[in-house]
Structure 1
């Protein structure tokens, strides 16, 4: 099963000024507000931020899975140059699960509880391929083995409730990888897995990106996962990307104070016996966003300029930041 010929000059995914809003009784909630990024073929983007920052809604928007009262209010989502938001539902379904796949945090969003694993995987293969029943079953078995699942033949005959939570998640990841899609969006899929299995899965998806040219968006709050997996990282806060760039550059020398605070709060960076550093305050309510910079109330660098909303700038090559005072001060001095 091979992917169609792709123009390597065209990025697998381009998101331009995406806005996703939810209509509520209290008003319009801008869950994703002016988000832009590009994921070239074979590259991995880590999308990082606290709960409620808009990471998952961004992923659902790309997949076309935002249901009312949510809606894509503006922007473009280009998959291999094709605008997804203007596609007919039938066209979009041909891409979903085949050329574009999503791995959910809850595996039961993928698995049918009343169908055996083999039936679900064979159905997923044959929905987008002329493979025979035997060929589809062999592909399903081999993909389970690739995910480190022991006795894959036995697991194929099981129902989801007969598997552990970690095993169900690995099956869900295997289903997403069946067709070697051009784009995978992974929404914190390894959170419930032990570190050994997590490392194995991260290695496999990294290999998939390199060998098959799959573009990958890995949505997570875990900076240590992003550090070892991603090529680029985009940090989200209150529905917006506040910093973006090569993963090593961003994690070694954060420009935005929010990124610095996230890195500084990692237990591994705090000295033994000292209090953990943390970002003061709370994420603002998206329904009643303050004017100006959304991070201003929690920011140690706040100034009079921050009453205006900062635009994205590029103070360094390959780096983007949404801040009036980008820099690399000592993290401990900012968030003591």
Structure 2
């Protein structure tokens, strides 16, 4: 099946007083239509910067300096600024962690959604309002006509996030990038939205990149998982492979720290240390100072090892059982 989104060798750097910092380092992955890719890692691993880089939303002193981003076979990095603006929200949409970044607090929800529709399609305000109502209904919002007439502050956090997802769906995009879209919500609302996102991918055929620090979330949502560390993808495979048979020590450390995988009252294992500063990465494998399997060879660039479609960037990958 042809990939709806294909990222090849994406590299993003930021110019700082301490020198250039590579926040996204030669990242490659693809997402097929109707599938969900979980992009996972600790804060500072480069997940969100990857999402913004795909959409061309990196401002100076940052720069996407290498790579290709293919949507419908077209390289977004070769588009003019005007063509890229036409592409955003139309063929590629983004859902932010805080829906108030998407919603204007002084405009009714319906007015905002109708404006978003009319930016890309010629239709009357009444027609755009009806398209907006259908989008709210699609994401399971009750009484959508009433919600269209509400202001953002009159809606709960979960409802605002549903509105943000509905806005992303207005133009039936080929690709949706969701950046920590349920992190600020309570567990019950989070579960509802995750179920709706899974259903939307199945029904609309949109390819979804779900950015999160929570492996527990993507284990029940994603078809495929990429694990990021210090700007690199260190492990990639199907959700079943990565969750059931992690091969990178970092992935295993993340999984071992999930409370649900341990008996109540048992101390949780922790990955020692913290994410390194991108301006002071160690030589070779960036995970080396925190890795229980590190040896002298880990001071050299780690090889890419692929078995049955599961890829790991490591000198000492965990054995498959």
- TM-score normalized with structure 1 length: 0.92
Q: Greater shift after overlay, 139-148 or 10-19?
A: 139-148
Query: 307, 311, 320: which one pairs with 2:311?
Result: 320
Rounded to whole Å, the distance in 2 between the matches of 1:245 and 1:261 is 17
Query: What SS is found at the alignment partner of 2:255?
Result: helix
Equivalent in the alignment of 1:163: 155
Query: 213, 218, 230: which one pairs with 1:221?
Result: 213
Q: Superposition pairs for residues 85-100 of structure 1, below 5 Å?
A: 85-100=77-92
Rounded to whole Å, the distance in 1 between the matches of 2:129 and 2:247 is 49
Query: What SS is found at the alignment partner of 1:20?
Result: strand
Q: CA RMSD in A?
A: 1.5
Q: Greater shift after overlay, 271-280 or 232-241?
A: 271-280
Encode CA deviations 1:124-175: one digit per residue, 9 max, x unaligned: 1111123332222122122223323233222211222222333222211111
Query: 231, 236, 241: which one pairs with 1:239?
Result: 231
Query: What SS is found at the alignment partner of 1:127?
Result: helix
Q: Superposition pairs for residues 31-42 of structure 1, below 5 Å?
A: 31-42=23-34
Encode CA deviations 1:32-90: one digit per residue, 9 max, x unaligned: 01111111122110000000000000000001111111100111111121111111011
Equivalent in the alignment of 2:37: 45
- Structure 2 residue 102 is matched with structure 1 residue 110: yes
Change (3 A) 1:138 1:95: same
Query: What SS is found at the alignment partner of 1:37?
Result: strand
- Structure 2 residue 183 is matched with structure 1 residue 188: no
Equivalent in the alignment of 1:5: none
- Once the two structures are TM-superposed, the CA of residue 329 in structure 1 deviates from its matched residue by 8.3
Q: Superposition pairs for residues 49-68 of structure 1, below 5 Å?
A: 49-68=41-60
Unaligned runs of 5+ in 1: 1-8, 331-336
Q: Superposition pairs for residues 173-322 of structure 1, below 5 Å?
A: 173-314=165-306, 316-322=307-313
Rounded to whole Å, the distance in 2 between the matches of 1:18 and 1:215 is 18
How many residues get paired? Answer: 321
Q: Greater shift after overlay, 166-175 or 245-254?
A: 166-175
Q: Greater shift after overlay, 149-158 or 297-306?
A: 149-158
Rounded to whole Å, the distance in 2 between the matches of 1:200 and 1:227 is 15
Q: Greater shift after overlay, 152-161 or 83-92?
A: 152-161
- Once the two structures are TM-superposed, the CA of residue 17 in structure 1 deviates from its matched residue by 1.0
Rounded to whole Å, the distance in 2 between the matches of 1:74 and 1:133 is 41
Q: Greater shift after overlay, 197-206 or 103-112?
A: 197-206
Rounded to whole Å, the distance in 2 between the matches of 1:47 and 1:126 is 32
Contact 1:10/1:81 (CA < 8 Å) preserved in 2?
A: no
- TM-score normalized with structure 2 length: 0.96
Contact 1:148/1:197 (CA < 8 Å) preserved in 2?
A: no
